[in-house]
Chain A
Amino acid sequence: MPGSLPHRLSRNEGRQMKHTLRNPWVYLLMIVPTLVLYCLFFIYPMVTSSFYAFTDWNGLSNYKFIGFNNFIDVFNDSDFINAIGNNMLFIVFAVCVQVPLIIFFAILIANVRKLQRLYKTTVFIPSILSTSVIGILWGFVLHPNIGPVNKLLSVFGIDPVYWLADSAWALPAVLVVNAWQWMGFYIVLVLAAILALPKEMNEAAEIDGASGFQRAWYLTVPLIKPIISVVVMLSISGAMRVVDIVLVMTQGGPVGATEVMASYLVNEAMGVNPNYGLGTSISLIIFAFALLLTALYQSTFGKVKE
């Protein structure tokens, strides 16, 4: 119904419109800078990564192809296997401890009326801060002699714990700090999904006498399954990539207790004897692991019915 348009274009104006919006020079000017930068820093590194990974290049000019040797070397190194194990512990901790807590807190926040905004904005704060600053901050909080955590424990007569220097405690400490940083982000994500649900069902269930726990478990959780799925997948890919917090707090130590794949990469490939071939092969392994695990999750638990 052309007549319903407030202003109908004459044929001449239509041609003018088409002409203006088909100006190839303007189009190129607007597209090319983005594409150049994107190709240079995304596509090109991706291509060269898949190439260097099969060489023994160490940053000097000569290198040779060594087939899958980098991959074989890495998987024969018990330190790397140990690092994979620690990545898996990050995943287990995220899925088994963080995700239930995230859902629990999100439901709690969704059900209070007073202070809801305050809770939401406060829990989100750590996720907008620099991981390196958070690592420094918690290194101080967990300091064996002057840190407040040990001061608090000493009230109960507990001897100072060397949180980051004791190989039994270092990984749990890093896991907790990592959770402290990211939980709020996920809570806000889940909270938004809960608040978007229609309120009537919850009210009806309440009138029928369902307890708060019953409503949460039988009503809210099934309805927010898609967003829980997203949270689990983001946690998995986050756990595969985790590195900043480890580098700043422990550098992978003590004796590999907190080493993860990406910190192993940094320590091996960028150390005193750089080995870029090995490094790129490790980054491809991390990439493959992340893809594999998310695909695995999606084809099993992550399937949203219907």
Chain B
Amino acid sequence: MRSLKRVSPHIILLIYVVVVLFPFVFVLFSSLKASNIEIAERPFAFPTSLYFQNYIDAWVKAKINVYFFNSIYLATTSAFTGVLLSAATAYALTRMRFNKASKAIYQFVLIGMLIPGNVLFIAQYILVMNMGILNTHWALFLPYTAGALPISVLLIAAFMKSIPNELEEAAIVDGLGAFRLFYKIILPLTLPALVTVFIVNFLGSWNEYLLANFFISKDELKTLPTGMVGFRDAFQTNYALISTGIVYSVTPVLILYAFLQEKIIEGVTAGGVKG
């Protein structure tokens, strides 16, 4: 009785874990199968012979490589720019002595967190069109970077406020200017918060679908989320190949997660509970 009581929560939780992981395992197995027939006949079975041809086909023929590098490049540059801009702003707001202006600017930037993203979607589309950058990577880079600013400024400013004054006093007495103080002293100390914010922004851009779908129609500029949907629609019948695409798209995030799970959980929950 007592041992049953101890084991039953684990049984329920393991069922949940299986429900979460099953689709991934299924897709991984399917990606190594030669055809739909093998998937259909034995959907739960390990592939009979490992068929890696799908990985080559998907990467080159289905242009997953193009989408993949577009995603990497956009997510990295926009996350990096977002972190740099918000760190600079957070530094000016929390550390420099313009208290009145800083307070007003801080409040003004936080208004952005009340506005849910897709409310602005059409107006942003028109804006991007008027700027003449529709169908270029700028059309995603700018909204992605801007979209992350309010929460990033909030998180980094909260962290910078907790840095003691003595350090920068000593640095200034040693003759550092405001600019060098920022990147030599404050920025390294803020690194943990910067990493968190970078991860949240990176994942946000890596996964974004709505803007990517409407702001980019050129195939060679598409990112993974939209490229994958186009890929599915083009290869409707070849599920082994579609599975391979899914594996390519999910694996980098899972690898990142394996190394930085605590950071990612911390960052994503902080980013999600902003409202």
Contact = CB atoms under 8 A, between A and B. Distances in A.
A112 B225 contact: no
Given A42-B146, A48-B126, A141 B26 contact: yes
B122 A279 contact: yes
Given A17-B172, A30-B92, A184-B20, A112 B115 contact: no
> Which secondary structure characterizes the binding site on chain A?
helix
B60 interface: no
A215 interface: no
Contact of B126 (A5, A52, A133, A188): A52
A266 B26 CA distance: 32
Contact of B85 (A37, A133, A212): A37
Interface residues of B, number: 101
A109 interface: yes
Given A132-B209, A146-B40, A148-B43, A30 B120 contact: no
Interface in B236-272: 239, 242-243, 245-246, 249-250, 253-254, 257, 261, 264-265, 268-269, 272
Interface string A25-59: 01101110111011011111110110010000001
Given A34-B85, A128-B203, A234-B272, A27 B226 contact: no
A43 B147 CA distance: 11
B66 interface: no
Interface string A93-118: 00000000000010011011011001
A125 B269 CA distance: 13
A131 B207 contact: yes
Interface size for chain A: under 10, 10 to 19, 20 to 34, or 35 or more residues?
Answer: 35 or more
B201 interface: no
28 contacts: A13-B169, A21-B96, A21-B178, A22-B96, A23-B96, A27-B96, A27-B178, A29-B179, A37-B85, A38-B149, A40-B146, A41-B127, A41-B142, A45-B120, A45-B123, A49-B119, A52-B122, A127-B268, A129-B207, A130-B209, A132-B228, A135-B229, A140-B239, A230-B273, A241-B117, A244-B210, A276-B125, A283-B121
